[in-house]
Structure 1
Amino acid sequence: MVATLLRLRFRVLGNQLMRSPWQLVGFLFGALYGLGLLAGIVVGLVLLGFGDLQLASDVIVGAGSLVTLGWALVPLVAFGVDTTLDPDRLVVFPMSRARMMVALTLAGVCGIPGIVTSAATLATIATWVHWPAATVAWIVSAPLAVVTAVVASRTVATAASGLGSGRRFREVSGILIFIPLILAGPIIAAVATGFAVNAEALLALLPVLGWTPLGAAWAVPADAAAGDLLAAGAKLLIALATLAVLWVLWRQSLARSLVNPRRASAAVVRAGSIGWFGRVPTGTAGAIFARALTYWTRDPRYLRQLVGAPLVPLLLWFYARDGDPFAALAFSAPIIAFVIGIVVYADISYDGTAFGTELITGASGRADRVGRTFAAAAVALPLVLVAAVLPFAFSGRWEQFPGILGMSIAILFVCYGVCALTSAQLVVPVAASGDNPFKRVPGSTFLQGLAFLGIWLAALLLSAPAVIVGVIGFFTENAAMSWIAFAGGIVLGSVVLAVGIMIGGRMLDRTGPVLLARLKAMKNA
């Protein structure tokens, strides 16, 4: 049964790669990148072996501890990334819990992260081969380090699936994950600064890591090389005890999760309450507007896009804090307009097969484009206006305000116009509502990534005239140029938006059934 599950694991991967040549090309590029990274690690480990034993010990124990910690933390922020061998799906098969755990462990080792970790761990022999005692200890400790990392990941993932079995928990946590990701630059800079300031304290901490569950297995060869066999034996016992405790915890969590699988949750609403459908004008466009606005206010896939909007000024201020923060903050509105405006290219993809309901009603393509665009604008315009007004309200330099506002509106409307066209021709695989935002969606291809890049470039090129005039007016503090950018941006954006809705609506009248067929094929993939 274990061998069957492993064959299934690789069969699924093979089927995904053979579905599209472009997906295979993307996988090969990723594999080449991974091989290049691994080659660099091997070269570094070889050179490390010719250095001081203490340096080799610090580097390997420190890096190994980070690897183990990374394996343990990833399930907390990326549950459901790869569900090929999900325990919820395996529960119907006639296999014991112990066999299931062995199969899941081997599947983790044989996955791409597991292969990279295993190869890097095996490559540490290039360092320890210079000390015979370390080589003997490596034979036991290297496999132990890899298995401990994988089992730690499975233990945390199973425990997290129990805590996050409710859909709302998964949705909220999926949204909050994006905050530290968006702020990754400032966080990394702060951590790097802290490392530079406290380098001596961190170096003193590295020997302590060898006595912890994170670094014990990685530190055994170093102590053996130094001739401290007592410390090596003690750390080996710590590593074995860590694996045993993790195995027991995983076994208990797995037993609970198999008996109580993830459950769906549904909101309880007052009888007769129809939300936005009762607050907007009636008609086809009004119904589509209400449905799209419901997505923007309730669907976590849309809300994730809005999380980043308030953080854009913070990021711009951080990177420009040593220069002119006002100039950086003033341009937060155009950036927010672009980030939020380009999202609607995937509107129909987010609908999924529910798009068929709209087709059955006979709704025109133009009504669809109008309803979706107005719903997106109802959410985005207030954010863009606030982002445009606040920097000038605090600085009092209102003569530059019209250009920034015109630039922002031009970018937003141009994005909507471009997406009104492209979304009538293109649907892309997206995660379902409630899924993990990092979940690998079958069908994602390299070609679709190029198409998305084309949408970005088209929106940037069409809005370029308003942006260029607005930038010139801002930095020259020319009030006339600023007002020209304001008027020109509104006119340019409105024209592109009107043309996009008109032509995109006609396209959708023809392509609607084709798009629905593609959405059904993606759902069944």
Structure 2
Amino acid sequence: MAWLLVRLKLRLLRNALRGSRQARGAFIFSCIAAAVVAVLMFLGLAAQRGQSEGVAVAATTFTSLAFGWLILPLLVFGLDSTLDPATLALYPLRTRPLAFGLLAASAAGAWPAANLIGLLGVTVGVARGALGVLFALVAVVLQLLFCIVLARAVTTSLAGLLRSRRGKDFAALLIIPIFALYETFVQLVPRLTAEGKINEHTFDGIDKVLRWTPPGLAAHAIQDASTGHALTGLARLLLLAAIVFLLGLAWIRSLDRALVTVDTSTQAVAVRASALPFAARGLRGTIAARALIYQRREPGAKIFWGIVLVIMAASAVGTVRTPSYLGGLIGSAVIGAAFVGIFNADAIGMTGPAFGFDAMALHSRASWRDYFAGLDLVLLAFAVPLTGLLSFILAFAAGHPLSGFIALAVDLAGVGIGTGLGNMMSVLLPYPVERRVGSPSPRAIDGYRGQVLAATFLILILTGVLLAPVIVAGLLTQHDPAALRLPPLLAASAVYGLGLCTVFRRTAARLAENRLPELCEIAFRSKL
């Protein structure tokens, strides 16, 4: 059974080279990335030879890999059908041989091989002597086995959930913390390293916790064997093996249950026979009601708002505790407003073929104004409180809470400007989108990436330029009494933003009135 499933896995990998050009390119890129990661990890661990913090670095690396094996399978659950036990439910297979086969198949491929090669760097960087190298080889095998069993246990136990709409929402929302961690890494780590706040001693505090985790047990077992404490190292390895064994038993039990349990994740749900809220207010209310439902149910909408907030926070985190905090707060508000427009700069393409039903009601310039107004109302209802709240959080973190009102003024004007520019780009630079299997966020189809870049840069530049009066007003009045300057500043900013939003919306309606056939063609080419 194990050899059969391994051959099937290798056949799938080989068939990827015979697929479309895009699939072949993605497979080749993935293999190259795996090779680069393997080399860098091996060299990084090997470079710890002779370093006092080598075992702490190894424990951190082992733990990071475990988290990667835990999270990434949840994100690619819809792309990799081998993760779903339901694909094997109809075959007369016994659970234990199937589990060993799935375990062996999971260990086949470029990324498991890259993990194995990279982790072997501890044989050079941490291990000392023949006994230390032997312990290192066993520890690396147990570490990789722990990662694979952990990933399989989690995906098997959550398979029914991940197959449902709520599960897809959960998997989609995992993108947000990953994106936040990436932004934090690229913003903070280089600066803290340059300031000397991150060095080899930083890992001491981390290792005090990690040494008691399964990956930490593997790393410290190597050090124990290398320093003459073989029995302690053996005890750590036996404890890690016991954890892997118990986790494997839990996975087999979950797999057995998944193979004989009726799948209810795809059953039909009850549909409420009630009217849409706000539908009695005509086309504007109907579009607003539909957009409100999409904001609640569409995973892509949750990702969009999460990424907007992460980008705002990341753009200000580097200056929030410095004398330049105010520039960081204002820059964060400008970038957040721009991305509100960028992520909604293709309203028609994102609607897809369903736009044909909308087109039947868009027979005049006034109807187009109502159409965009319905979308704008929902965006503003979400954007204003979210961006404003984050601006105040950043201001409190900077120790200057009153400066949050200046950022709020930029938010009030900016989200109106960004929303209006999104309407304009939806008409001037529309593009069809496609949804990849397993991905919650659509992307532009091939041949339309130029429109995406053009709309992005135009909205970024125009938002910054049009917000200049609000920024100048906030800076010039920052030393005046707050009770006198803040109410007029906030009111004028809100009116300014809504005024520009209305101007852009009316201009977009006038342009769209004569481009309905072209816009319908773009919408019909979307694959959602």
For the aligned pair, the TM-score class normalised by the smaller chain equals 0.7 to 0.9
Distance of 1:204 and 1:468 partners within structure 2: 45
Name the SS for the 1:323 alignment partner.
coil
Report the equivalent of 1:341.
341
Structure-to-structure mapping, 1:198-213, within 5 angstroms:
203=204, 206=207, 212-213=213-214
Structure-to-structure mapping, 1:386-405, within 5 angstroms:
395=402, 405=412
Distance of 1:132 and 1:294 partners within structure 2: 64
Report the equivalent of 1:84.
81
Report the equivalent of 2:299.
300
Name the SS for the 1:275 alignment partner.
coil
Q: After alignment, is 333-342 or 498-507 more displaced?
A: 498-507
Q: Post-superposition shift, 1:225?
A: 2.9
Q: Post-superposition shift, 1:120?
A: 0.6
Report the equivalent of 1:263.
265
Q: 1:409 aligns with which of 388, 408, 416?
A: 416
- Does the CA-based 8 Å contact 1:384-1:408 persist in structure 2? yes
Q: Post-superposition shift, 1:70?
A: 3.9
- Does the CA-based 8 Å contact 1:317-1:329 persist in structure 2? yes
Q: Post-superposition shift, 1:451?
A: 5.0
- Does the CA-based 8 Å contact 1:420-1:500 persist in structure 2? yes
Letter of the aligned partner of 1:83 in structure 2? Answer: D
Distance of 2:112 and 2:368 partners within structure 1: 45
Q: What CA deviation, in whole Å up to 9, does each residue of 1:25-72 have, x standing for no partner? A: 6766666555444433333333333x15x6443432342233224423
Name the SS for the 1:281 alignment partner.
helix
Distance of 1:121 and 1:15 partners within structure 2: 31
Root mean square deviation, CA, Å = 4.9
- Does the CA-based 8 Å contact 1:413-1:496 persist in structure 2? yes
- Does the CA-based 8 Å contact 2:384-2:411 persist in structure 1? no
Report the equivalent of 1:459.
459
Letter of the aligned partner of 1:509 in structure 2? Answer: P
Report the equivalent of 1:161.
159
Structure with higher RCO (Cα < 8 A, 6+ apart):
1
- Does the CA-based 8 Å contact 1:71-1:150 persist in structure 2? yes
- Does the CA-based 8 Å contact 2:291-2:375 persist in structure 1? yes
Q: 2:13 aligns with which of 4, 10, 13?
A: 10
Q: Post-superposition shift, 1:352?
A: 5.2
Q: Post-superposition shift, 1:234?
A: 2.5
Distance of 1:369 and 1:95 partners within structure 2: 58
- Does the CA-based 8 Å contact 1:407-1:470 persist in structure 2? no
Give unmatched runs, 5+ long, in structure 1: none
Distance of 1:124 and 1:368 partners within structure 2: 67
Letter of the aligned partner of 2:46 in structure 1? Answer: V
> Structure 1's 243 and 426: CA in aligned 2 closer, same or farther, altered over 3 A?
same
Distance of 1:445 and 1:502 partners within structure 2: 27
Distance of 1:229 and 1:476 partners within structure 2: 69
Q: Post-superposition shift, 1:383?
A: 4.7
Name the SS for the 2:80 alignment partner.
coil
Residues paired across the two proteins, number: 500
Report the equivalent of 2:482.
none
Distance of 1:259 and 1:323 partners within structure 2: 62
Q: Percent identical across equivalent pairs?
A: 20
Report the equivalent of 2:398.
none
Report the equivalent of 2:433.
427
Distance of 1:33 and 1:140 partners within structure 2: 26
> Structure 1's 64 and 495: CA in aligned 2 closer, same or farther, altered over 3 A?
same
Structure-to-structure mapping, 1:27-426, within 5 angstroms:
35-49=35-49, 51=50, 55-72=53-70, 74=72, 78=75, 80=77, 82-85=79-82, 86-111=84-109, 113-127=111-125, 131-162=129-160, 167-168=165-166, 170-171=168-169, 174-175=172-173, 178=176, 181-182=179-180, 203=204, 206=207, 212-260=213-261, 261=263, 263-264=265-266, 268=270, 271=273, 273-276=274-277, 278-281=279-282, 287-307=286-306, 319-323=319-323, 328-329=328-329, 333-345=333-345, 347-348=347-348, 350-351=350-351, 354-355=354-355, 370=369, 373-383=372-382, 395=402, 405-423=412-430, 425-426=431-432
Distance of 2:29 and 2:163 partners within structure 1: 35
Name the SS for the 1:410 alignment partner.
helix
- Does the CA-based 8 Å contact 1:369-1:501 persist in structure 2? yes
Distance of 2:374 and 2:426 partners within structure 1: 14
- Does the CA-based 8 Å contact 1:407-1:489 persist in structure 2? yes
Q: What CA deviation, in whole Å up to 9, does each residue of 1:136-181 have, x standing for no partner? A: 3344333332122111111122223356665336536744873685
Letter of the aligned partner of 1:9 in structure 2? Answer: L
- Does the CA-based 8 Å contact 1:469-1:484 persist in structure 2? no
TM-score (norm: length of structure 2): 0.73
Report the equivalent of 1:512.
520
- Does the CA-based 8 Å contact 1:334-1:411 persist in structure 2? no
Q: What CA deviation, in whole Å up to 9, does each residue of 1:422-459 have, x standing for no partner? A: 33x3213257xxx6758xx8x88897666533321122
Distance of 2:444 and 2:518 partners within structure 1: 25
